[in-house]
Structure 1
């Protein structure tokens, strides 16, 4: 008896051991699987009991953020551990996860978001907009819209993409409409042959994925890993909508294995999904699908690509043939093969709108109606932006690690997209056949508290032109930075000692490198130019000395000046030109942009022949650089740099700001006889010219809102991303330039002022343009960023109405008052520009008018920030037209603010009776039902 008991016990322990080993084996994820529970605090991770897959904390994949849990009242309803925790990102405009990958490998990346009222603010149900964005790498993927969303429900986002390097990143973008957060991230490698329309320039976002057949077990509501080895979500149509397959629906299933022909299966759909299908009674002839976005979706212009999966599993009568339509005939006379997988899709041909009917229509020779086994829909994610050169990324990340720069907002890709480029970096985004990726050309880490030696990693940044490490605590010798591209090396005011490498000395002596070492021990016994002060003190005192000397001789100077003018007059008439080179200012501005000579400007502008504009600064000429690039040259003649109050602020401001919606300054001329600024040329002129240009060119409503969004983004950059913040002070339609693709570019920074975050305002003399002046600023001279918001509100009203800020109607009236009067007397349509020909959405018009009137509130405190303005504009204009390009020539991509309440997948069936009647309605002979497929 004892022996028998011992034997049984041994068997029990053996079975338990086998079970444990089996679980451990199953818990090993397939190669390349990454499973991240965002916000999970335990470094040891855990095994998901449903999937038998291990999940780990996100600490190794992201910097910053805060860990949270959903509130206890939502815990019980959570279907998995990943829903219970999350990481939020209250700080920074972009926060990125970096996941290891193989370069050029195809991946499925899935993110989930479960709010769970973790912050106790009830943000999803308080009536406000709760919206943030997602980037896949450096390109916009989708937005996460949780407005009016059940806090216990999960939003799911999924993208199929190609890794651009040895890592792939997903970034959360703060739109200013709620704190971004994330609950889980999952990365799944795919076969290179799968989804052949996905390539380096095209990714696709999951829109919907369904499997058909009569599935009754609620556990199979979502089919995923391990049935699908790539862990795709296949939603059951019958369980989603409670279908019991009543007449005329017929469910087919088979136990036979459904296989694919070698080389034809580019989707690797599990065989089990093909073993079930849905079809109709033989009295019916057509299945119709209507794919559409849901009622709470903020955009309506996603481009979709459908994929139909078929296999004939009716062994008794395989005579089935049907046509597949999407408005037009896509696939004629298709006949699914018996027990063989077949997928029909348009390779790379995306539908141009997101509401489309698909019809599977029985042909005249077919004895059976259509069937369907599975259906996928994806939306286009354009990958127009290029990632930074991989070598530069590697080097700058080594620098970040070397100096422990975690506190700097260096997150995601260093250069791309331009609006999120790393602070202190300047990148060259010009494309070339050899390398289309942006290159880092300037690194400015001045006054960052850097300690230790000089990072050797800078040596490998082969496009680096300007390296500024001044005013830190760097020690040791200067590395032998053998960079032919390096033109400025500023190491002043550190603790650097030791010899200067021969290579660097040779470049300095040849005039190829500006080396600055003043304030370092290495200069204690060295009087070379690179160890001397920049003579700033001497230069600062020079004007005072000159004035003291010149004052007694004012009369003589005036006489000399008159003689020079007389001489210039006669030389000009005689065709002889004065040598302006003698007037070149010896003291350059310490900025890292090109300085032109007057002689160069003459060549560029063809002797100042083509005038394209005039303003308070002077005359603007058209020009062309040696490279062939067109430029605008803004010139103020016959003045001195001290007499021009606008020149220095504009040069200094534009040398620091870099944004796609701010004008790019190519260089300047600092001549005692001529001050000039050289900009990129904008062939469409300015917004004022187009709005008041009669019928020569008329902007439609969408184009107007795009330009408004462009201008708003430029102002937000000045207000939020510049340190210190910059107030433009002269925002007006005449200062919003338009490139060849009608992208709005803010210009004319002569009145701009900067102030530190510690100050809510600064006091200045009122400046600006009549009609655009902030009344509060005009009364108090207290300048804040809200001054620009007021002026932008006037611009927005001009965009809506086509009217100038001040005009006669019949008496002089200010545009905001005119709008108020019109709306009070009639409808909002009375204020819309007549050239719009009523071609606009009324609700959009009303919302934009409301935004503009918010911006022009008399009290600055009542006006929105530019971040809020952008968020509201993106709600009404959620897609950037693909045919409208940025200033750099990169096409803008369309993106939607996807609410996840949900995309709808409608399905209906229609048929013909035996008498041959066409489409009919009613449950007995035609249209039987409409099913709302409600997504994730």
Structure 2
């Protein structure tokens, strides 16, 4: 009996252990789930009491930002505990969360924003514009618009996307209309076969996801949906907006997906449906006035989920229209078999999102609908930087502990948010950007040279000058590298042969001046090329300026001599006339000044003699005279000038 009782105790203990382990496993999130409570304070993680999932702090997923809590008066009305805290980003134009992922894997990303007047500025209710950008990777996912939004209401954004690398980023972009913030961030892996229209070029944001029928919960999510999709209730309960003539149809039977249906909508979601009174023939679903959605700018894709729940008379056939356009004519749902309908690649611009299900003439039952998803196109037109370049730059950032507000998200893309100090090559529009220049001059770098640089196969110019780098120079065997500026550091190690060979071949411009390694070297790479470039203009100035000055002085001297000679010649021409040379007419003497007056400054020529020019003149008494001026060259030859000098006409 004692042995039997002992065995019972062992069995009881084993069952209890299994139960405890089952509870612990049940408390863990499904594989690949990431739950982030942004701005979580004082604790690193906790278990959500409703979801039974663990939420962690965002400290390891983001840099920068400020932690806050919503005001106490709004905590009671938030939907979940993870909405009570948030992280805001007053600094930097772009701030990004980086979540681990598997390349090529398909994911659902959900970001939730609950303002809760954390800053006590009442920004959602003061009438001003309050909006910021939300990016998935390097492409615009959506805009978060909290203008005139209820203070305690959450804005929920979802996107289905494919990870292109080992991480996926969610970035908040400051648009100048309010400080970006985020309350929680969730990542859910999907099966690769789900949502086949989602690929590396196309992501989709969730416009609405609805389940129909008599539903008590406004939102249905995990664990009902193992992928944690949010299904909002389009209820037909009494007192609700959508009641008569609409009716609810339901079943407890298990449902199966038809072959090829890979949307994995849970049976519990589809076991309820909305139909219409038999006196009516059509169902209209209007989704035009959804909050925080601008339907006029979106290209929408609807996905309809149907299964026949009526067992007695399954003769049901109807046409499906989207905004008046026929999509699926004469559709008949299969009993207890799930069929999902969508037009592959049909993302159409729509001012309104409304759908009509219209009974056909040969149908004995009106239409019904179980669930509906509507997605908006997110074009992934911006290409991410080469993954290796990203990895090596992040290694450099970590090694040197670089804290830069611009160094968030992708280094090169989109171009308007590229990292400061980098130059990227966008010349090939159909290829990923590559980093070709890294300028970390005067950045306070210390320690050894990062090996990561030597692995960046497109790097052409590396400037690490004016830092505190020490030790040897690694073997930078990069054929692409054209300029390596390591000047003004504390490098004392040898220069690798591979670098010297490229320098000697004229393929690499190496700059090492200002390092201990150059203390006993006179090689060109140890010369201060900056001073050399400055010295050349100075030398030119020192030579050219004196030459110009001397040339000016010589020119001025020559000009002065020419002017002086001309003046002297002029004086000589008229010197003989300046003298008080007596000229007689009627026994009267005239000076040169009087002759100038008589001839009106020798204005009128009346003739030319053999020895000079004859000018017309008038005496003070009105008598006209002719005044002959002797030419200088003929004075010596003249023997009869004076008698001929003046005469009365």
> What interval of TM-score do these two structures reach, taking the shorter chain for normalisation?
0.7 to 0.9
Q: Which structure 2 residue ranges, 5 or more long, are not aligned?
A: 1-7, 556-649
Q: Partners in 2 of 1:296 and 1:387 — Cα distance?
A: 28
1:104 equivalent in structure 2:
104
TM alignment of 1:820-859, pairs within 5 A: none
2:513 corresponds to 1:518:
yes
CA drift at 1:275: 1.1
CA drift at 1:529: 1.1
Q: Partners in 1 of 2:242 and 2:95 — Cα distance?
A: 47
Q: CA-to-partner distance for each residue in 1:674-729, whole Å, 9 max, x for gaps?
A: xxxxxxxxxxxxxxxxxxxxxxxxxxxxxxxxxxxxxxxxxxxxxxxxxxxxxxxx
Larger RCO (CA under 8 A, 6+ residues apart): 1
CA drift at 1:21: 4.0
2:244 corresponds to 1:247:
yes
CA drift at 1:505: 1.0
Q: Partners in 2 of 1:540 and 1:240 — Cα distance?
A: 88
Candidates 547, 550, 553, aligned match of 1:549: 547
Candidates 483, 499, 517, aligned match of 1:504: 499
Q: Partners in 2 of 1:283 and 1:299 — Cα distance?
A: 33
2:209 alignment partner, SS class: strand
Change (3 A) 1:20 1:122: farther
Between structure 1 and structure 2, the one with the greater Rg is 2
**8 Å contact from structure 2 (residues 98, 168) kept in 1:** yes
CA drift at 1:462: 0.1
2:409 equivalent in structure 1:
412
Q: CA-to-partner distance for each residue in 1:131-182, whole Å, 9 max, x for gaps?
A: 1110100001111111111111111000000001000000000111111110
2:322 corresponds to 1:322:
no
Change (3 A) 1:150 1:506: same
1:114 equivalent in structure 2:
114
1:529 equivalent in structure 2:
524
Change (3 A) 1:114 1:538: same
**8 Å contact from structure 2 (residues 236, 242) kept in 1:** no
Q: Partners in 2 of 1:21 and 1:65 — Cα distance?
A: 39
Q: Calculate the aligned-residue CA RMSD, in Å.
A: 2.5
CA drift at 1:14: 9.2
Q: Partners in 2 of 1:258 and 1:554 — Cα distance?
A: 104
Change (3 A) 1:206 1:556: farther
Q: Partners in 2 of 1:131 and 1:84 — Cα distance?
A: 20
2:278 corresponds to 1:282:
yes
**8 Å contact from structure 2 (residues 422, 435) kept in 1:** yes
Q: Partners in 1 of 2:256 and 2:472 — Cα distance?
A: 68
**8 Å contact from structure 2 (residues 295, 353) kept in 1:** no
**8 Å contact from structure 1 (residues 286, 369) kept in 2:** yes
Change (3 A) 1:541 1:121: same
Q: Partners in 2 of 1:513 and 1:43 — Cα distance?
A: 53
Q: Which structure 1 residue ranges, 5 or more long, are not aligned?
A: 1-7, 558-936
2:257 alignment partner, SS class: coil
2:3 equivalent in structure 1:
none
**8 Å contact from structure 1 (residues 428, 441) kept in 2:** yes
Q: Partners in 2 of 1:358 and 1:244 — Cα distance?
A: 17
2:91 corresponds to 1:91:
yes
CA drift at 1:19: 6.1
**8 Å contact from structure 1 (residues 285, 362) kept in 2:** yes
Q: Partners in 1 of 2:417 and 2:192 — Cα distance?
A: 31
**8 Å contact from structure 1 (residues 23, 52) kept in 2:** no
2:386 corresponds to 1:358:
no
2:361 alignment partner, SS class: coil
Q: Partners in 2 of 1:291 and 1:245 — Cα distance?
A: 13
Q: Partners in 1 of 2:182 and 2:236 — Cα distance?
A: 28
2:65 corresponds to 1:70:
no
**8 Å contact from structure 1 (residues 107, 161) kept in 2:** yes
**8 Å contact from structure 1 (residues 214, 251) kept in 2:** yes
Q: CA-to-partner distance for each residue in 1:272-322, whole Å, 9 max, x for gaps?
A: 111111111111111123332447756721111111110011011111111
Change (3 A) 1:305 1:154: same
**8 Å contact from structure 1 (residues 130, 146) kept in 2:** yes
Q: Partners in 1 of 2:354 and 2:152 — Cα distance?
A: 33
Candidates 468, 477, 496, aligned match of 2:472: 477
**8 Å contact from structure 2 (residues 144, 292) kept in 1:** no
Q: Which is strand-richer, 1 or 2?
A: 2
CA drift at 1:477: 1.1
TM alignment of 1:293-332, pairs within 5 A: 293-294=289-290, 300-326=296-322, 327-332=324-329
Q: CA-to-partner distance for each residue in 1:396-425, whole Å, 9 max, x for gaps?
A: 111111111124531110000001100100
2:297 alignment partner, SS class: coil
Q: Partners in 2 of 1:556 and 1:258 — Cα distance?
A: 109
Q: Partners in 2 of 1:488 and 1:397 — Cα distance?
A: 22
**8 Å contact from structure 1 (residues 101, 165) kept in 2:** yes
2:373 corresponds to 1:376:
yes
2:57 corresponds to 1:53:
no
Moved more, 277-286 or 441-450: 277-286
1:453 equivalent in structure 2:
448
2:489 corresponds to 1:491:
no
Q: Partners in 2 of 1:363 and 1:430 — Cα distance?
A: 56
Size of the aligned set, in residue pairs, is: 547
Q: Partners in 2 of 1:511 and 1:85 — Cα distance?
A: 59
1:396 alignment partner, SS class: helix
